[in-house]
Structure 1
Amino acid sequence: MGHRRPVFARYYARASVRMEPFLAPHRRALLDGLSGRVIEIGAGNGLNFGHYSAPISHVLAVEPEPHLRGLARDAATRAGVPVTVVAGLADPLPAADASFDAAVACLVLCTVPDQAAALAEIRRVLRPGGELRFFEHVAAESSGRRRVQRALQATVFPLLAGGCHCARDTAAAIESAGFTIRRAVRLGPADTGIPFPTAPQVLGIAVRS
């Protein structure tokens, strides 16, 4: 999310809860099998927190938007593992080099101003061999839909949708940042309930070289 987007933050907080019947299974798949120290970038209102479990030892959740950060701190009190919610940006991340076993990016890499810089920061804070778990919406496969996404991205959509860029090729950006994608599944509106232009999505695992 951006720094302070009070209107969008309140809309997102309500809409994301309504979407949970569709998204909860994908959140579980995103986080399944994680262990050790985890950093979550752009934690929003903390809807991932209920899906973290042992052997995760600690989650550092970074969220810049004040209203969403407050909701995330409430959600952290109900999590099954220790979660610390802090103010911060994806670039730079408030963490030391190679200090985490895994990073989680969930519906956030569309909103960062500089995707390459954010991914470089994620790579910096992960240990070698650490995992990036990602669930992100990406550019459509058909050329017609991509044209629509690019037109929206260049005009009104970022203003209306909290800085969201709906035409990014995030999987390619992850690979360009020095990660190897080990698994990636494309999902559509029938899978997630998220409509075009923020569909399709990709759910996957990448490993830091």
Structure 2
Amino acid sequence: MSHRHPLFARFYARTSLLMERRIGAHRRTLLAGLTGRAIEIGAGNGLNFPHYPGTVTEVIAVEPEPHLRALAQALADTTATVPIKIVDGWADRLPADDASCDAAIASLVLCSVPDPDAALAEIARVLKPGGQLRFLEHVHHPRPARRRLQQTLDTTRAWPWFGGGCHCSRDTLTAIKNAGFTIDHLDILTSTDTGLPFPTAPQIRGTATRP
């Protein structure tokens, strides 16, 4: 089931630590107030782990890339303040039972999953009715010229090749709504807020509820 992306995984592991100087505050905001059992989709190297509040009883951290998964395990062993179980798995086949989680976290990952609609359907499946989806994602640009550039980068495969499968032109907010979630809160972030440059800007951070 593992998905190997060794060069990108090592590049991301290093650059993500530099980005964390700005992104860390948004991770804390994203996870504030969470309670119960959570599942994190595409946990990467585990940079969300230190920000889970003590009201979370367990985190199932799903990560298909072996190098990133090993780094996440090391971080969970040394810095996590809540129980974290790190597992191999895919966003469209989550290793969790139906309606078994109180919350799901998608943090800079829905850009990279092969099928975001399938991933969101799986998130809805494992969430309890009334469960929350917390998301922090980069999305397509509101300006047409920049959005066309993002689309070109994706359709020519230039950006997905460089970014380990990342697509910079996805309309993730619409995908979340189409999956049946109700948007409860939404913040629009820019490169000034996060330090993430175009074409991975702007970003959205918010909370949505499963019916």
The TM-score, its normalising length taken from structure 2, stands at 0.98
Structure 1 position 4 matched with structure 2 position 4: yes
SS class of match (1:92): coil
**Any runs of at least 4 consecutive aligned residues in structure 1 with deviations exceeding 3 A, and if so which?**
none
Instruction: Please tell me the residue identity of whatever aligns with 1:51.
Output: H
Match of 1:85 in 2: 86
Measured on the aligned residues, the alpha-carbon RMSD in Å equals 0.7
Q: CA deviation at 1:53?
A: 1.7
Match of 2:187 in 1: 185
- 1:152-188 deviations in Å (ceiling 9; x for gaps): 0111110110100100010100000010001111101
CA distance in 1, matches of 2:47, 2:41: 13
SS class of match (1:24): helix
CA distance in 1, matches of 2:53, 2:130: 21
Structure 1, unaligned runs of 5 or more: none
Structure 1 position 70 matched with structure 2 position 70: yes
CA distance in 1, matches of 2:3, 2:103: 24
Match of 2:119 in 1: 118
CA distance in 2, matches of 1:185, 1:3: 31
CA distance in 1, matches of 2:59, 2:191: 30
Structure 2, unaligned runs of 5 or more: none
Match of 2:58 in 1: 58
What's the % identity of the aligned pairs?
60
Q: How does 1:40-189 map to 2 (within 5 A)?
A: 40-77=40-77, 78-155=79-156, 156-189=158-191
CA distance in 1, matches of 2:109, 2:186: 17
